[in-house]
Amino acid sequence: MNVSNANKSKLLQNALKDNNAVFLTNTLNFYPGVDKKSIGTVLNKLKSKNTSPEVKTSLVYWLAKNQVTASVLQISQQLQSPNEMLQTAAIKSLSQLGTDAAIQALVSRLSTGSPDIVKKISNELLTVDNKNLPGYLATAYPLSTSEGKTAILSILSSRQMTGQSSLVYSQFASTDKNIKSQAAKSLAAVSTQENLPALFNLLETSEPEYIPALQNAVNSALSYLTPEEQSKMITEKMNSSTKKYLYYNALANIGTPAELNKITDDYKNLSGSNKSAAFEALTKWKTFDAVYSLLDILRSGTDKSEMNKAVETLLPLIAQSDKNDEVKALYLRELMPFAQNNSQKNTILRNLGNTRSYKALLFVAPFMDNAALKEAAAQAAMNLALSNTSFLDEGTAKILEKVNKTLSTPDAGYHREAV
């Protein structure tokens, strides 16, 4: 839109007088340049009680788009509007302006705003660029509603504001369960190695429902240290604590062979909570090394629940490992006798079907005689036979004949033809 300077003011005045929000928005979008006169005209219209929420919404967005920082007070006043569209415009525009005054205006509404307003402001504060935001959140926190406090804790966590860890930590004294629960979740993102003594204290004194979140926070804080430093600190803490079971999770997270050996030995030699925690730590181990310990537990196991969890852990640990197919097939075959239900057995058969192992082909074949397992066994046998033509001999020919008779899925015809 080519408009001379002489006509700019008239153009804007006409659009504002018209009170048509669509016309005004289009005019503002193409308005040529911003000057003190146009800003003053827009601010006066925004202040007017006779201006509709729709028109005010257009004005608010225009002021933010053009970074009119002098408009923060007028825009922040729109946060009180009962009109949801205008409220949203004010929230987004203050966030876009990003000045200290704009961000303070947003944060202050966390103390008095409705849950919906608090949620909208929180979403904006997750990405706003203002170095003083942590301090503003901390200042507003004591004055905020329960929803506001929970939102502030979530923002501190999402933005990893480690400088406010003491604020998050202090909320464990709150009697509001929602706040306390959010504080527990937030600690992991705001904690560093300097917070470990405080975290250890919380871990040993808090209710059981907060333990998993606190263990995550400990693991997060430990990550600032080397594995050797982590191991030394946790070992010393366990030796001095009457609640050793709380720290096996950290040993598993450190993940070195020394920690795996200690967890395995403690499972064998300890009892009660410590033994249970050691087992849980083994089920959280991230590498193939834990396979040996878990299989040992299965070989001597009597606890059905424990054995079930061990199998569930081993299934992906073996199948998704970087071991070669023959090694995977070996351990999957060894796992089969310990499977606690048909679901686990079928999963083992399916995983064996992906191993390209001749021994796996011979192993899965007999399971086609089991009504609950025959479909997975037949599918596995077919995949294995087709994966390597060198597998085809007199013995496997009989297996494939049985596959043809067994397959009954909707794709069975296609599969028979492939065989």
Most confident of 18-32, 283-297, 390-404: 283-297
What percentage of the chain exceeds 70 in pLDDT?
95
In angstroms and rounded to an integer, the radius of gyration of the C-alpha atoms of the chain is: 32
pLDDT digits (tens, 9 = 90+) for 213-233: 999 999 999 999 999 999 999
pLDDT of amino acid 23: 80
Q: Do 266 and 248 meet the contact criterion of CB atoms below 8 Å apart? A: yes
| Of the candidates 192, 189, 215, the residue with the CA atom closest to the CA atom of residue 202 | 215
Asked whether residue 417 carries a pLDDT value surpassing 80, the answer given is: no
Instruction: In whole angstroms, give the CA distance from residue 182 to residue 175.
Output: 13
pLDDT mean over 391-399: 82
pLDDT mean over 393-407: 86
Confidence band for 32, pLDDT divided at 50, 70 and 90: low
pLDDT digits (tens, 9 = 90+) for 251-272: 999 999 999 999 999 999 999 9
Instruction: In whole angstroms, give the CA distance from residue 150 to residue 131.
Output: 21
Q: Which residues contact 124 (CB under 8 A, 6 or more apart)?
A: 91, 92, 94, 95, 106
pLDDT of amino acid 79: 95
Q: What are phi and psi of 340, to 5 degrees?
A: -95, -10
Q: Say what the alpha-carbon torsion angle 271, 277, 280, 281 is, to the nearest 10 degrees.
A: -110
Higher pLDDT, 100 or 111: 100
pLDDT mean over 69-78: 96
pLDDT of amino acid 360: 96
pLDDT of amino acid 6: 55
pLDDT digits (tens, 9 = 90+) for 310-347: 999 999 999 999 999 999 999 999 999 999 999 999 99
pLDDT mean over 395-407: 88
Q: How far is CA 218 from the centre of its chain?
A: 17
Residues of 341-368 as b/e, b for ≥16 C-beta within 10 angstroms? eeebbbbbbbbbbbbbbbebbbbbbebb
Asked whether residue 73 carries a pLDDT value surpassing 60, the answer given is: yes
pLDDT of amino acid 410: 53
pLDDT of amino acid 7: 66
pLDDT mean over 137-153: 95
Higher pLDDT, 392 or 173: 173
Asked whether residue 394 carries a pLDDT value surpassing 80, the answer given is: no
Asked whether residue 131 carries a pLDDT value surpassing 70, the answer given is: yes
What does the block give as tokens for 176? 């509001």
Instruction: In whole angstroms, give the CA distance from residue 100 to residue 82.
Output: 25
Alpha helix (H) residue ranges in 365-393: 374-387
Asked whether residue 415 carries a pLDDT value surpassing 70, the answer given is: no
What percentage of the chain exceeds 90 in pLDDT?
81
Asked whether residue 108 carries a pLDDT value surpassing 90, the answer given is: yes
Most confident of 16-30, 87-101, 105-119: 87-101
Q: Global pTM?
A: 0.84
